[in-house]
Structure 1
């Protein structure tokens, strides 16, 4: 991994952390708050690709593990990995990878803007919602001992917001591709 790749990954790790400054919104009927940090995970995958996007998320998780309060609500430390939401944190890694992997394959320079936007949106939906929820819901059901059906049903309240986040990530990916064509180049 080149210095440029590390710098870009660190930049997106900082973006994910900065999105954690926005206060979480709790729904009360499920222990997982609504946060903006999953938007950062989607954007990292869309803009940086699979490898660099995954590294960005891993940087954030290392910062959490060493105790820095970088998660939404000022959380950090190893206790964050023992909460019912741990599956979503672990899912971030796979969500960023999947989003980036699909983006790298579906979106190319020279495509029409609408096709690029659609490719980025599909990638963010698959990685940032389908993959992330797969990890998060399974772990939540296990950790909170509420069963898969209850965890799945409770998590559906987050889908509308996450679809909006996926669309924002797609817009960011398209804007970066149009405005900074050398940034997405995977080295």
Structure 2
């Protein structure tokens, strides 16, 4: 559990060796804090980058978003995600996955659907966990009619549906009107 402390100690030692921290060393330190569940340290490092005349990159932001997500701070994670364009950064699959995970932990189902749709619009390839979160979110925010489209997009993104995908998709249609059997028409199981 003390790996993050070691990483921060090494990071802090960089100036003592006559070197200046760079974006890579900051990102590595933020990532170590994320893995150690130290979201406050991760945010402090992200905020310190401009003071050292360094611009955070997608890796820096993604690690900080993930740190907030793991710390149960979905609003902070989402705020960081939304700040990326102001820094001229386009979120990648890891950024989206961390933001979706944060919203899932916070029970923000509508935001998950919005993030997932944004991910597809930007042509960022979702991971299986993103699809599963989106399917679950569709059910929880009353958009169960969207499940077949989400479910059927999985193979298009080179993902195999897993047991979670199948049970989530089937579960969203339990007790719903048949409406021409939309689900079976959309998915060739």
TM-score range, shorter chain: under 0.3
Whose RCO is larger (CA < 8 A, sep 6+)? Answer: 1
For normalisation by structure 2, the TM-score amounts to: 0.26
Larger Rg: 1 or 2?
A: 2
